[in-house]
A and B are shown apart, each in its own frame.
Chain A
Amino acid sequence: MTAINNECPYISKNKITFSFDGKTFPAFEGDTVASALLRNNIRLVGRSFKYHRPRGIYTCGIEEPNALVQILSEHNEPNTRATVKRIYDGIKISSQNRWPSLKFDLGAINNILSPIFSAGFYYKTFMGPKGFWKNIYEPLIRKSAGLGKPPKNFRSKSIHQYHNTDIVIIGGGLSGLIAARKFINTKYKVLLIEQDSFLGGILKNTNKVESINDNSPSEWIKETEDLLSNSTNITVLKNTLVTTYNFTNHLVALEDKFSGKKIDLNKSELTLHKIRTSQTILSNGHIERFISFRNNDLPGVMLASSFEKYIHRYGVVPEEKPVIFTNNSSTFSLLKSIISLGCKPQAYIDSRRKDEIESEIKKFLKTNNILSYFDAEVEGCDGNKKIEKITVRQGKNYYKINSSMLCVSGGFNPDIHLFTQSKGLVKWDKQIASFKPDTSFQKTVTLGSVSGNYNFKKLCDEIDEKLSFLKTKKLNFEIKLNVSNKFSVKELWETKKKNNSNWSKTFIDLHNDVTTKDLKQAITEGFDRIEHLKRYTTNSMGTDQGKISSINSLAIVSKLLKKEISEVGTTTYRPPYAPLSFAAIAGRSTYEFYDPERKTSIHSWHLKNNAVFEDVGQWKRPWYFKAYNNETMHQAVQRESKILRESAGILDGSTLGKIEIKGRDALEFMNLMYTNAFTKMKPMTSRYALMLGEDGMIKDDGIICKINDQHFIATTTSSGAPKVLADMEEYLQTEWPHLKVYLNSITEQFSTFNISGPKTRDIMTRVFPNIDFSNEAFPFMTFKNFDYQNTKIRIMRASFTGELGYEIYISPKYGLELWKKIFSCGKAFNLIPYGTETMHLLRAEKGYIVIGQETDGTVTPIDLNYNWMIGKNKRDFIGKRSLSRPDTARDDRKQLVGLSPINKSDTIEEGQHIVEINKLPNKIKNPIKYLGHVSSSYHSPNLNQSIGLAMIKGGNNLLGQKFFVTVSGKTQNIPVEIVNPVFIDPENKRLTS
């Protein structure tokens, strides 16, 4: 039966209720799921991962391997550690990994089948026959593996908070608080991080400390907390867990803002703190480890210090008459706690010899008449879904004890996880039988039990000495103890089984159901390196990361291998220290903030005029405009494309990258950056240009405007703009620092409109009556600057549609106004707005390429038949030398061609393969010869047929030949003819007249 500790100052007297698996129970505000369940005498909490064995609450904190529950309230959060999650009134909780119920779980058949689930089970079992993995094994494993079910319909509002600070103290226990007090009102900016909702650590979790400077532990905690909160240089974060310790003292910590409170969906429930500090102080304590014995997973087995923590931290005595099994001196305070509450341990079993056990413990056991076994061990325990009988072995004798609870202590491990994450080195310490920090790799100090110092009396000296390099006060506290100051432990990892049987198991990893037998088997099979063994057996790979058991497994393995533990070594500790929710990692970068959005100055107009947007890089670009409500994309694009070639259309091209290039060496620089020759180009003219990588492949294209030899303006693709500018800067800074050239991005400084179509000249003349747009005054590929109202504009004659066209550049302040003016003037000429899809269709009709569509990083200008763009007389430009590499100069490379279906009603799909056969076999046995792929395909309203651009091996020599294009989901291919990629106006009459 459970008992109550009414003296507990950390639990409120406010009564609340919660439900577990549909039944409602009472609890107190401040309870965790686990303390509330124990308060109600519930010890069966879940089923295990692999064998579906009944499991209970094993610990009282972050290290919990068993008691994982699903929080049904709000958003169905799975795999929540019952020992950490604090409850509030009305919270609904369910057990997981059981069906149909926790008490009767069909999956428990796995326990009977367990011989086949041994080490390496996954690797050995699911080998064949062919097809079984995809159709049978995987769906089966997905259904039965894992624990809880994923959350549903939940939008987290987690936020990130960055900190730049001088000192971070991790752990607000006794040593963390003493360290923090040294920094009060110093010049250091300090962050103290505590995972619990109360400070105090061991002071609140045990009764080991009687007083500090004659104050009771809780008074001293209160005093310290007041002092810290009055000190402006110190910030305390509670309910915050440090999960990650990166290089250069970068820490990540997760704060649960709603610990013990109902989540408000309008608020952020988690904060991920990203901390950069000059110095880290680790005072994150120690974690108790268990001992492996037969059925050491039965509900009712609990770590001794956790049992003690339930008494002092939560005011619950999980069982009035537990049995204690220990190999060290720490359980003395538990004995004292139980007796002081009027309860009595059923038995005390100590694996140490009588002469090794402290006389005060022996005296206490005798005085209180507690059944004791020295130099003895628990052989195992038995019972149905709970402990009923415990078998003790002392020498050759076996004793049976009736009890429902067994408190186990196998010693303590300094919690070296964060220290080793920081790349610090650890060393085996025989005195405490564990690894402890040795050499720091970063600016890291360890204090208290994490450093392997379990001696409270020496704590103040240790802290003073280790922090002496900082300018802090000297502090000395007189710490009086209830128990002996000396810690003694005798190594014990696994007790001997009386009989061998498949039914009872001795676990080394409770979370992943790994037994000590699995370790032995893995070693027999040759997995004798600890990292291999871990992965083969899945030992310590659960969400608890083997916090109470991983050192035990190293010890067991080292004995099997007849090596020292330090020789076996540890596996690598990696972040996170404890599970970290994806919502916290994502922070606000989800949904509406998934990616920053860029909008042009015309955006509001597009919205009003029923634009449908497309993401181009981070830009929102009109994809097409709906003329009426249920116009489909296809209809809109066909309409826009047809009208533009008949009258005129206008595109918001503000997203195009624009770079200003100026300096006395600008001409030489441009000649080096682009394939084209700019030397003979006349001022105030423009030219379509290509930029290559050093490998000769096309990286970007754009129009270059030459103002004079010292001043150019380059346009780039919308998404390529930052990269092009960065590449230009790179070459200027690193390869050609002698060139006197300066660059500025002017993408944002201009709204850009591309207006084109046969009626464009009429419209432009109406918009700008003072400008002569005649072909003679304003020829193709020239540009001019004009004063316009209070600003300056630049107009360039250029086109991406194949029709007569102009590009207008104006300050974004005046952009929308001019856009509207163009529309009022264009109304008479049936001017329409068009989007990127129509732009792509029109340019495909004209055979113009799009970077990223026709090119994919493996295409040279020669592959596109753009030889005319290569300044052959230039000695050098980026990528030039690569164009003559044997592979780049091959004539069977994929080359740009046009495709026209032989049957005009056929539709070619983008991305399809081009093959030589008209029909694919039903079952493909031998590879089909592949000639190339369709890079662009549209239905052309102006030719009234499907057209395509394709990259085909040796395409230049295949003009007029017939091939086939595959169709998705079908075997019948479409016959096509290879044609010139320019479908409209191959003589460029429309462009140039």
Chain B
Amino acid sequence: MILIKCPYCGERDQSEFANGGEAHVVRPQNPENLSDKDWGEYVFFRNNPKGIFYERWVHSHGCKKWFNVVRNTSTDQILKVYKVNEKRPDLTEFENTLRSPSGEPSVGSGNFAVKK
């Protein structure tokens, strides 16, 4: 259970929140003009990186507000929380935080505990 800082209510336990998957996937303005493939991409396909991820959360058992989070999926560190209408932070903001607990490879589930 990690702590998540709701931009409206402050730091709360993860159990009050629900994850909404990848952020900044905008619903197409004119679905009728999209090819089946493009529409399928929107409906069914999402990124799932190991490392920095822009994702949506909702304070479902609190204020019920949606917001965006930049999280390192390999460490569960939350690097930034911002409101839905705020600008997507640039990846370069997190360059110095790009790390895993033990400097493990960026692909795979390996999780080493010994410092090299």
Contact = CB atoms under 8 A, between A and B. Distances in A.
- A contacts B directly in the complex (CB < 8 Å)? yes
A734 B27 CA distance: 9
What's the interface size class on B, roughly?
Answer: 35 or more
Interface in A530-576: 566, 569-570, 572-573
A882 interface: yes
A247 interface: yes
B115 interface: yes
Contacts of A569: 112-114
B44 interface: yes
Interface stretch (A433-441, A490-498, A613-621, A962-970): A433-441
B96 interface: no
B66 A730 contact: yes
A880 B113 contact: no
Contacts of B56: 734
A426 interface: yes
B113 A425 contact: yes
B75 interface: yes
A726 B44 contact: no
A74 interface: no
A875 B60 CA distance: 31
A892 interface: no
A427 interface: yes
B1 A246 contact: yes
Interface centre among A246, A247, A730, A875 (most CB of B within 10 A): A247
Contact of A572 (B111, B115, B116): B111
Contacts of B44: 695
B43 A425 contact: no
B90 to A, nearest CB: 21
Contacts of B66: 729-730, 733-734
Interface string A411-443: 000000000100111111000000100110100
B113 to A, nearest CB: 5
Interface string B14-53: 0000001000001100111010100110111000000000
Interface string A874-894: 011000111001100000000
The main secondary structure of chain B at its interface with chain A is loop
Interface in A806-860: none
A425 B31 contact: no
A913 interface: no
Contact of A885 (B39, B101, B111): B39
B88 interface: no
Interface string A719-737: 0000000100110011101
B55 interface: no
A961 B111 CA distance: 60
A735 B85 CA distance: 10
B2 interface: yes
Nearest to B56: A734
A256 B111 CA distance: 33
Interface string B80-116: 0000110000000000000001100000000111111
B36 to A, nearest CB: 5
Given A726-B60, A729-B64, A248 B84 contact: no
A435 B20 contact: no
A737 B2 contact: no
A694 interface: yes
A876 B43 contact: no
A424 B43 CA distance: 39
Given A250-B2, A880-B31, A572 B114 contact: no
Nearest to B13: A276
Contacts of A250: 1-3
A570 B110 CA distance: 12
A880 B30 CA distance: 11
B20 A885 contact: no
Contacts of A441: 75, 101
Contacts of B58: 726, 730
Contacts of B64: 726, 729
Interface string A443-485: 0000000000000000000000000000000000000000000
Contacts of B1: 246-248, 250
Given A250-B2, A694-B43, A735-B27, A570 B113 contact: yes
20 contacts: A247-B2, A250-B2, A276-B13, A424-B113, A425-B101, A426-B115, A427-B114, A566-B116, A569-B112, A569-B113, A570-B114, A572-B111, A694-B43, A726-B60, A737-B84, A876-B31, A876-B32, A880-B31, A881-B39, A882-B43
Interface of B: 1-3, 13, 20, 26-27, 30-32, 34, 36, 39-40, 42-44, 56, 58, 60, 64-66, 75-76, 84-85, 101-102, 111-116
Interface of A: 246-248, 250, 276, 420, 423-428, 435, 438-439, 441, 566, 569-570, 572-573, 694-695, 726, 729-730, 733-735, 737, 875-876, 880-882, 885-886
Given A248-B1, A572-B111, 20 more contacts: A246-B2, A248-B76, A250-B1, A423-B75, A425-B101, A426-B115, A435-B114, A439-B115, A441-B75, A694-B43, A695-B44, A733-B65, A733-B66, A733-B84, A737-B85, A875-B32, A876-B30, A876-B32, A881-B31, A886-B36
